[in-house]
Structure 1
Amino acid sequence: MTARLPPVYAAAVRRSVRVTLAAAAGFYLFLYGFDSPVAATYALFAAVAMAGLSHIPGTGRQRAATLVPVVPACWVLITIGTFLSVRTWSAVLGMLVVGFTLAFMAVGGPRPAGAAPGLQLMYILPSFPPYVPESLGERLLGATVGLALLILAEAFVLPDRARTVPYRELAARAADSAGRCADALGSAPYTLGDTALRAAREFGGGLRSSRVPEAERPAGPSVRARGLAHTGLAARTLLGRLTSLPPLSGDPSAGRAGPEVLLAVRDASLETASRLRGRENAVAARSRLRKARQALASEPGPDAAPAALRRQAAVLEVADAALAMSAAAEIAVRGRAASAAAPGRFWYARMRAPRLWWRRLSGHAGQRSVFFQNAVRIALALAAARTIAGLDTLPHGFWMLLATLTLTRTTARQTRSTVRAALTGTLVGALVVAALLALVGTDTTVYAAALPPLMLIAFTLGPVKGIGWAQAMFTMVVALVFAQLAPATWQLAEFRLLDVVAGSAVGAVFGLLAWPRGAHDELRRAVATMLRSAAETVVATTAQLAAGGARAPVVTAPGHRSLQHALIMAESAYAQYRGEPKEPAAPEDARDWQAALMSGHHTLWGADRLLVPPETAVAPPLDREPAEAVTRIGDRVAAGMLLVSARLDPSGDTPGRPVALGTRDFADFSAEPPGAPRPYYAAAEWLESLMTDVERIAGAHK
């Protein structure tokens, strides 16, 4: 049946059937089978909370796997809510702490973020009087049965037909494409055809988070998730380096190891793809690539032509990216048992899960993190709503908190439009409910018969039609539920409307007071901070190269940690910004924020490649002219980054003003000092790519 519906409706129908089966089965089992209204209430709301209110990404079976560890968390939240409901102040304090903690867990990725609203409801539901701790057993039993029924329904009822491609497979396809490109570049005629170029760009772009379904994004803090994300970044970098590789020079002084390195890159890429697909093998290809790279790096070439040296430097960068991809893929597959971990680039590979979680949480524990801002906003709003509900003793006060939870958005503008649609929908639903209750009275048989089909319609139309429809339909659903739990009159609709108005008002106030523009300003500020940190890394890296390269025990480039943190902040702000409505005709909408984030990655990876190669060796200081040239170019590229940063920062004097700059305005990459050694050309290649990134951010490249 669902196959003939449009895809969006078919998916909504499948999910609606699952949640309706779980919620209705648990509700009727306890209410009419065991005469336990408390257990019936918790069975129904547990299923509705974790399937209707939560937005856990993935297929039904993926959501079922996510829900299994959620069950103990629900026990804890229900228990805490039950015992803190004895006093309004204790319930409010608990709401503040629990609300912040659950919202802040979004730093763990899409699945914790999606489950958080439902878990919030598991605390909200028992945190209202009457204070009846003796009913805790019924509450826990009802919630457990409701969640168990939901897990079974998600896993076995109407399984999803459309399956997304796992990120590991996307990375494997990119590695395959890199292998084909390296094979073409390492074999005659040493060029890439148009088909190979298009495929490389497509597979590289397919690894962007904006093109990967939420359920497949490696966004968690675990070793394997970080390794998989690292694999995707390395694959994109490798494909980009391969498609922009300078042509092979005919100068015999360039050496003959370049093609050998590219063929070793091919083998390592194909081995990586095989490993990601579960076909484990030895690391022979990676070992051969290390040896080929080392041979190319140690070749004499003081008399080689500049074009040959540029090609050699570019091939070494390709090899480094392939080695990083291979090592990261092993970590993604084997976790802490991987043998490829290095103390710098793969700093996370030997850490245990608690420490990695702590690093993720502490890294976002500040007002510049959008995760922190959202957690503070929702915690304060819920605490305020609980205070008002407790002091005024609103009937069905938890509806007020539910409205606050579901209607508060990350921007004041979005909250305002959401509240308007929600109030309209609630008013329509309340009028229908009032008429129904007035006509039917206390005949619970009618309500019992009407509830399941109404739930099917509500959970189908709500996600598709929007918040107005969702509120209208949910108002009718909860009215039919409570009309079966206790005798109800038309005033139940009045209470529902009053609670939603009060809850939406609280959400609107805190949406206006707490970071009202959401990620709009934070994205500009975060990217500006990232560019300043990148400029510092560029200056420090070029200065260290001029002085003689890496010095043991250096394991990361200067400024690696601060730039990495700034990049994480910018990426999280960008992820939220993409989901927010934009201001009309905002100039930021046309800005290439993706290019800005990639410039941070290019800075980080390039600096590490130059100073911390796979086989770290102490290089002699550059001669005076090459040292001055690389330092001068690095300073000018950093100046370009700082100029763009100043224009982006919303706290600056002239934020948002267009930046007009070009490569020739800052750095002359064509003027090469005589007798420049290999490290100079490697640095020049890196700095030129960074200048291209800066120009793209500034709008010079359309």
Structure 2
Amino acid sequence: MWGAPAGRIPAAYAAAGRRAVPVTVVAATGFLLFRYGLGLPVAATYALFSAVALGGLSKIPGTGRQRAATALRALPVCWLLVIVGTWLSVRTWSAVAGMLIVGFALAFSAVGGPRPAGTAPGLQLLYILPSFPPYDPGSLGERLIGTTTGLALLIAAEALILPEPPPRSYRERASRAVRTAAHCATLLAAPPYALTGKAGEDAREAGAELRPLTVPEAERPAGPGLRHRALAHTGLATRTLLSRLARLTTPPGDGDQGPRVTAVLRAVANLSTATADSLGSGPEPVAAHADLVAARARLAATSAGPVPAVAGAASGPGPPVLPPAVLRRHAAVLEIADAALAMATAADLAVRGRRVAVPVPPGRFWYARSRAPRLWWYRMRGHAGRRSVFFQNAVRIALALTAARLVAGVDTLPHGFWATLATLTLTRTTMDETWSTIRRALGGTLAGALLSAGLLALVGAHTEIYAAVLPLWMLLAFTLGPVKGVGWAQGLFTVLVALVFAQLAPPTWRLAEVRLLDVLVGSMIGAVFGLLAWPRGAHDELRRAAAELLRRAAEIVVATSADVAAGRPAAATPLEVSGHRSLHQAVILAESAYAQFQSEPTLFGGQGRGAPLPGVDWQAALIAGHHTLWGSERLLEPPPVPLGPAAAESAGGLGDRVAGRMLLVSAALDPGCDTPAALVPRLDPALAGFGAEPPGAPRLYYATVAWLSALMTDLARIPRAGPAPGPATTTAAPARNTP
């Protein structure tokens, strides 16, 4: 926050203070009640650290009520961690093994979304606390009493003290965006069949509101469950629909788009309105969904192209031969209909789960009939590999915590709990950030140790003074620490630790010395494992994941274009085809790496091999992956339609050229490639072949060209800066050093 504008500082303090008050009230009340009221020092310690764990160390997103609900669901896990930690602590080898397994499991739980990720550090603390002296399984009952009391008071305080207004939910955002799509479709269904400037701007703003980075963390649909997946799918489909509506051009020729096109756009508007109502707990959009399916089928039949002859069938007049400009518009309108149907289906799944009322096609909605355990298994299996940033983070923190516990057990480090806690709180996902954090933390700890030593020497054994100062200092620490940064947080927490332990054992100024030693040991352990285990965090992994995504997408582009050119339908649903499954997995890994990349500061200098390439629009690469999957599925729907020799050659050639450009961008993004990392190819989205009109080409040809053109637009957006080159050429623009 040091560089924050002056106007934002008071808001930051207000937000930190709002979160600090419940934690301070609960931690101080529980500690003082058990320590002085009931004479139970062990319960006092656990009551205090339970509140600090889930209220201070954890970064649970959301309002107080949302945090209270998350803490309530985590209560059984907290009991289990205290029990397991107590019983495994009696021997060093069992404590070390437990730290490795539990540390990895808790850190890896971040695959479940922002709430498990935010809760994990606090749960780690609740396991670390009973893993250190005194090794007394006989005090387990008192430990559980303190833990339960502290967490129960925290849940009540979070829900009742200083309540916060809830932000708009993702469903509300999606409902607003869908209504915007309905308005756009209504305008396009009536003369002059075009969007006004304001409508286009509203469509762009509504789509931007659904981007994950613009949504509060607690409201992002990032979990592995059915409803979260469906709600995220709703957002993607809605953004796609808004984009396609905004790109629809005016009708060719005399400006009349035809009754069947108008019927489809009106059906899209009606379905969008019904979907928005459904997202607001209204009725299912069943009738509107069926109307759009019927209107889409009529338009598709109008411009389907030549029908293959069947032996023994009577010959009759085929569909009318339409001009290429009309076929292009039909293809664009059918894409709009496809996006609207996907949006409505996903929204119904998000609202009603497996009780969905609208038809759910396989492939794109593969998760619709799966139970929660199976979806969790898919999520964990998808990230159980060294290319996942979730896996990397879990390995890094588990090894660091295990090493800290081993050092504390073998060397009998005084207050080894503090060393392990320092390892937990100071280890970051990149080496540069870890070193920067450690430098500031050690400076803050030294200042806090000097202040603590003076306080302990001055006050001595007058515990009533420590008890009086504790709540005030706690409020100060939990308010200033999150705003001022890790240096202030460590310094204030060092004094807080001294105030607490001075009331549990005879105080001495050497307590501050031990605290400084433990933080030094813990930070060095974190630094070592930060250096050994993926020291560049998500920077390299994002480049590698995006490069792999584009390589997989290029394979699918080539295969799909070849199948369309040959008139072959898909042999199975897309996610059952190995290429589509591989691309789906690549999209998942790239999205998780991108999410972590957004939280990591850009601390690297230069643009040599392995640089983070902050001048790249990673979101465009992710969207290219989604568009590849969705377009391939749509184009390969049976029945097959022969394109004719000229159209088949054109479609296959365009597919090869688009795939080649995907591979060109992929090579520049890949940190393991010999291509200079500073050069990000900038492409012209308009390939020469996109304007070709082969004689007798059916609408499927123009749908294929539209898909390939959209992919080229995505590729052209990946480099953020630099002028576009001439047609059908590529240049290399240096990536910027600023995000």
Aligned equivalent of 2:623, options 598, 608, 630? 598
Amino acid at match of 2:200: L
Measure the CA separation in 2 of the matches of 1:391 and 1:108.
Answer: 35
Give the CA deviation at 1:131.
Answer: 2.1
Q: 1:438 to 1:383 in 2, by over 3 A?
A: same
Aligned equivalent of 1:580, options 600, 617, 622? 600
Measure the CA separation in 1 of the matches of 2:154 and 2:649.
Answer: 67
- What does residue 647 of structure 2 align with? 626
Give the CA deviation at 1:668.
Answer: 1.8
Aligned equivalent of 1:422, options 429, 441, 452? 441
Aligned equivalent of 2:236, options 233, 237, 261? 233
Give the CA deviation at 1:698.
Answer: 4.5
Give the CA deviation at 1:165.
Answer: 1.1
Measure the CA separation in 2 of the matches of 1:659 and 1:114.
Answer: 35
Where 2:691 maps in the other structure, the secondary structure is coil
Measure the CA separation in 2 of the matches of 1:336 and 1:288.
Answer: 23
Where 1:126 maps in the other structure, the secondary structure is helix
Amino acid at match of 1:608: E
Measure the CA separation in 1 of the matches of 2:526 and 2:466.
Answer: 32
Q: Please state if 1:337 is matched with 2:358.
A: no
> After superposition, what is the alpha-carbon deviation per residue over 1:220-248, rounded to whole angstroms, capped at 9, x for unaligned?
00000000000000000000000001221
Q: Please state if 1:443 is matched with 2:462.
A: yes
- What does residue 83 of structure 2 align with? 79
Give yes or no for contact 1:636–1:667 (8 Å, CA) kept in 2.
Answer: no
Give the CA deviation at 1:470.
Answer: 0.5
Give the CA deviation at 1:6.
Answer: 2.2
Alignment size in residue pairs: 695
> After superposition, what is the alpha-carbon deviation per residue over 1:101-129, rounded to whole angstroms, capped at 9, x for unaligned?
00000000000000000000111000113
Where 1:428 maps in the other structure, the secondary structure is helix
Alignment RMSD, CA only?
1.8
Measure the CA separation in 2 of the matches of 1:142 and 1:79.
Answer: 13
Give yes or no for contact 2:302–2:320 (8 Å, CA) kept in 1.
Answer: no
Where 2:221 maps in the other structure, the secondary structure is coil
Where 2:251 maps in the other structure, the secondary structure is coil
Q: Please state if 1:51 is matched with 2:69.
A: no
Where 1:393 maps in the other structure, the secondary structure is coil
Where 2:613 maps in the other structure, the secondary structure is helix
Q: 1:350 to 1:665 in 2, by over 3 A?
A: closer
Give yes or no for contact 1:254–1:304 (8 Å, CA) kept in 2.
Answer: no
Where 1:351 maps in the other structure, the secondary structure is coil
Where 1:298 maps in the other structure, the secondary structure is helix
Aligned equivalent of 1:312, options 326, 330, 333? 330
Give the CA deviation at 1:658.
Answer: 2.2
Q: Please state if 1:177 is matched with 2:195.
A: no
Where 2:508 maps in the other structure, the secondary structure is coil
Q: 1:100 to 1:549 in 2, by over 3 A?
A: same
Q: 1:278 to 1:390 in 2, by over 3 A?
A: same
Q: TM-score, normalized by length of structure 2?
A: 0.92
Amino acid at match of 1:439: L
> After superposition, what is the alpha-carbon deviation per residue over 1:557-608, rounded to whole angstroms, capped at 9, x for unaligned?
8522111110111111111111111124657122111111111111111112
- What does residue 571 of structure 1 align with? 591
**Which structure 2 residues correspond to residues 286-301 of structure 1 after superposition, within 5 A?**
286-300=289-303
Give the CA deviation at 1:9.
Answer: 1.2
Where 1:627 maps in the other structure, the secondary structure is helix
Q: 1:46 to 1:313 in 2, by over 3 A?
A: same
Where 2:641 maps in the other structure, the secondary structure is coil
Q: 1:120 to 1:660 in 2, by over 3 A?
A: closer
Give the CA deviation at 1:11.
Answer: 1.3
Give yes or no for contact 1:251–1:304 (8 Å, CA) kept in 2.
Answer: no
Q: 1:596 to 1:337 in 2, by over 3 A?
A: same
Amino acid at match of 1:685: A
Give the CA deviation at 1:661.
Answer: 5.4
Q: Please state if 1:285 is matched with 2:274.
A: no
Q: Please state if 1:266 is matched with 2:291.
A: no
Measure the CA separation in 1 of the matches of 2:294 and 2:176.
Answer: 26
> After superposition, what is the alpha-carbon deviation per residue over 1:344-373, rounded to whole angstroms, capped at 9, x for unaligned?
111111111100000000000000000000
- What does residue 561 of structure 1 align with? 581
- What does residue 734 of structure 2 align with? none
Give the CA deviation at 1:249.
Answer: 2.1
Measure the CA separation in 1 of the matches of 2:723 and 2:671.
Answer: 23
Give the CA deviation at 1:281.
Answer: 3.7
- What does residue 685 of structure 1 align with? 706
Where 2:130 maps in the other structure, the secondary structure is coil
Give yes or no for contact 2:86–2:136 (8 Å, CA) kept in 1.
Answer: yes
- What does residue 374 of structure 1 align with? 393
> After superposition, what is the alpha-carbon deviation per residue over 1:511-559, rounded to whole angstroms, capped at 9, x for unaligned?
1111011111111000000000000111111111122242565455852
Q: 1:25 to 1:445 in 2, by over 3 A?
A: same
Q: 1:513 to 1:282 in 2, by over 3 A?
A: closer
**Which structure 2 residues correspond to residues 469-548 of structure 1 after superposition, within 5 A?**
469-548=488-567
- What does residue 116 of structure 2 align with? 112
> After superposition, what is the alpha-carbon deviation per residue over 1:132-161, rounded to whole angstroms, capped at 9, x for unaligned?
111101101100000000000000001114
Measure the CA separation in 2 of the matches of 1:622 and 1:677.
Answer: 6
Give the CA deviation at 1:408.
Answer: 0.1
Give the CA deviation at 1:254.
Answer: 6.6
The farther-off stretch of 124-133 and 13-22 is 124-133
> After superposition, what is the alpha-carbon deviation per residue over 1:165-201, rounded to whole angstroms, capped at 9, x for unaligned?
1000111011000000000001112110110000000
Q: 1:391 to 1:551 in 2, by over 3 A?
A: closer
Measure the CA separation in 2 of the matches of 1:426 and 1:13.
Answer: 22
Q: Please state if 1:641 is matched with 2:673.
A: no
The farther-off stretch of 331-340 and 200-209 is 331-340
Give the CA deviation at 1:659.
Answer: 4.5
Amino acid at match of 1:353: A
Q: 1:648 to 1:117 in 2, by over 3 A?
A: same
Give the CA deviation at 1:439.
Answer: 0.6
Give yes or no for contact 2:574–2:580 (8 Å, CA) kept in 1.
Answer: no
Measure the CA separation in 2 of the matches of 1:315 and 1:294.
Answer: 12
Give the CA deviation at 1:69.
Answer: 1.2
- What does residue 91 of structure 1 align with? 95
Q: Please state if 1:653 is matched with 2:674.
A: yes
Measure the CA separation in 1 of the matches of 2:219 and 2:689.
Answer: 43
Measure the CA separation in 1 of the matches of 2:236 and 2:499.
Answer: 51
Q: Which runs of 5+ in 1 are unaligned?
A: none
Measure the CA separation in 2 of the matches of 1:69 and 1:400.
Answer: 29
Measure the CA separation in 2 of the matches of 1:68 and 1:664.
Answer: 51
Measure the CA separation in 2 of the matches of 1:116 and 1:494.
Answer: 29
Give the CA deviation at 1:663.
Answer: 4.1
Q: Please state if 1:607 is matched with 2:627.
A: no
Give the CA deviation at 1:53.
Answer: 0.4
Aligned equivalent of 1:322, options 326, 333, 340? 340
Measure the CA separation in 2 of the matches of 1:680 and 1:65.
Answer: 53
Amino acid at match of 2:663: L
Give the CA deviation at 1:271.
Answer: 0.7
Measure the CA separation in 2 of the matches of 1:179 and 1:125.
Answer: 55
Measure the CA separation in 2 of the matches of 1:510 and 1:281.
Answer: 52
Give yes or no for contact 2:615–2:719 (8 Å, CA) kept in 1.
Answer: no
Q: TM-score, normalized by length of structure 1?
A: 0.96
- What does residue 689 of structure 2 align with? 668
Amino acid at match of 1:605: W
Measure the CA separation in 1 of the matches of 2:258 and 2:242.
Answer: 24
Q: 1:672 to 1:40 in 2, by over 3 A?
A: same
Measure the CA separation in 2 of the matches of 1:563 and 1:555.
Answer: 10
Amino acid at match of 2:325: A
- What does residue 727 of structure 2 align with? none
Q: Please state if 1:204 is matched with 2:207.
A: yes
Measure the CA separation in 2 of the matches of 1:557 and 1:204.
Answer: 30
Amino acid at match of 1:576: Q
Amino acid at match of 1:646: A
Amino acid at match of 2:93: W
- What does residue 144 of structure 1 align with? 148
Amino acid at match of 1:380: L
